[in-house]
Amino acid sequence: MTSDYFPCAVFSIDFPFFFFFVLHQMRKTVRKLAKCFPTAIVSGRCRDKVYNFVKLAELYYAGSHGMDIKGPEKGSKSNKDTESVLFQPASEFLPMIDEVYKQLVETTKSTPGAKVENNKFCLSVHFRCVDEKKWSELAQQVKSVLKDYPKLRLTQGRKVLEIRPTIKWDKGKALEFLLESLGFANCTDVFPVYIGDDRTDEDAFKILRDRGQGFGILVSKFPKDTNASYSLQEPDEVMDFLRRLVEWKELSLRTQSRM
């Protein structure tokens, strides 16, 4: 492999695997990695939340399952205007989502424990703290708001109702868009690595498999049905892998400069 042959790393950062270990030693390694290769974090969560958690200006961030992608901050760190929004495929939905958010807050007020969260490109109605007897009533309340918005889709997660635009968009599409916006769309010498532990990461693994380019790495303690090419068992192994990537790049740079 030449040193030009590995320019892209993409991580998924959804619960539970990434959150806790980014917090600790991981940040230093990821920062070094981003110096060597374009590095992106993809998450189901809202981009600002992910950024506030990771706090690395060097990275690309794709929040809301990749519906909100932003490149590394350029120029001075203090100037927020220098951040570059790359892509928001659902931006036309923003006013509608804000409107529905307000209506949901109003409508669900009468259900104690219900919590409406605005994740910018999607809304969540959490019912973890709602009395089980009230669940169907809450679902009805949410549906009654949504009946006027056919362009929004309702799905149910773990003790949460999720509302998002009906556009076809997933982490696989986000990965493709990232590669394109980095100018790698048609490059054959690019080797994207996508690391993730969530079911929603399968869309990204499948893209790499279909393109025959790079590989996906599933992080899982147990064997799982997956379209990733490799697996690592736990965050420590991921970190070790990333460290080796950095070492390999530094070594190849040193070798080059000697020639």
Ligand X SMILES: *[C@@H]1O[C@H](CO)[C@@H](O)[C@H](O)[C@H]1NC(C)=O
Q: Which residues bind ligand X (CB under 6 A)?
A: 185-186, 202, 206, 225-227
User: In 10 A of CB 48, how many CB atoms?
Assistant: 14
- Helix, strand, coil percentages for the chain (3-state, nearest 5): 45, 20, 35
- If the CB atoms of residues 132 and 225 are measured against ligand X, the closer one turns out to be 225
Q: Rounded to the nearest 10 degrees, how much is the dihedral formed by the CA atoms of 30, 33, 34, 38? A: -120
Which CB atom, from 182 or from 245, has the smaller least distance to ligand X?
A: 182
Question: Which DSSP category does 187 fall into?
Answer: -
120 vs 171, beta carbon nearer ligand X:
171
Looking at the Cβ atoms of 204 and 242, the one nearer to ligand X is 204
Cβ atoms of 120 and 63 within 8 Å: the answer is: yes
Shortest spacing between CB 42 and ligand X, in angstroms: 16
The nearest distance, CB 230 to ligand X, in angstroms, is 15
Give min distance, CB of 202 to ligand X, in A: 4
Q: What are phi and psi of 61, to 5 degrees?
A: -125, 130
Strand ordering across the sheet containing 230-232: 85-87, 68-70, 60-63, 39-42, 8-12, 192-196, 215-219, 230-232
Check if the beta carbon of residue 174 is closer than 8 Å to that of residue 89.
no
Q: How far is the CB of 227 from ligand X (least distance, A)?
A: 4
The neighbouring-strand residues paired with 60 are 40
In the complex, least distance from residue 206 CB atom to ligand X, rounded to whole angstroms: 5
- In angstroms, what is the minimal distance from the CB of 201 to ligand X? 9
Nearer to ligand X, 127 or 184 (CB): 184
Nearer to ligand X, 229 or 252 (CB): 229
Q: What single-letter DSSP state applies at residue 26? A: I
Cα separation, 56 vs 71, whole angstroms = 11
Shortest distance in whole angstroms from residue 246 CB to ligand X: 29
Question: Nearer Cβ to ligand X, position 231 or 252?
Answer: 231
**What is the token pair recorded at 179?**
């590669």
